[in-house]
Amino acid sequence: MKKNKDSVMSVMSVKDVAQYLRMHEMTIYRMCYKGSIPCQRDKHFWHFKKEELDQWLEEKSVGPGSSAGQ
């Protein structure tokens, strides 16, 4: 059975996420250690699922104190 490319979760590196969010890589590492960004650690590397990041971004943009939807 072939998987549709849309059904496969995109896994991103710290560098990928930094470019995607337009932030410095060290900022992404700090957010990982604080637990303020959805990520997983595999031995020495941090991994991010693009779908989880997109959902996290959307929740932050419509969360408490945001001006979205007003």
Of 28, 70, 65, 67, which is closest to residue 48 (Cα–Cα)? 28
The pLDDT, as a whole number, for residue 63 is 63
- Write the pLDDT tens digit of every residue in 18-63: 999 999 999 999 999 999 999 999 989 999 999 999 999 999 888 6
Tell me the residue range of the domain where 22 lies. Answer: 11-58
Query: What pLDDT shows up at residue 1?
Result: 40
Phi, psi of 46 (to 5 degrees): -95, 140
For residue 68, how many other CB atoms are within 10 A of its CB? 9
Q: What is the pLDDT of residue 2?
A: 41
In a domain, 5, yes or no: no
Residue 4, in any domain of the structure: no
Count of residues for the chain?
Answer: 70
- pTM score, whole prediction: 0.74
Structural domain tally of the chain? 1
> Does 67 map to a domain?
no
Look at residue 40 and tell me if it is in a domain: yes
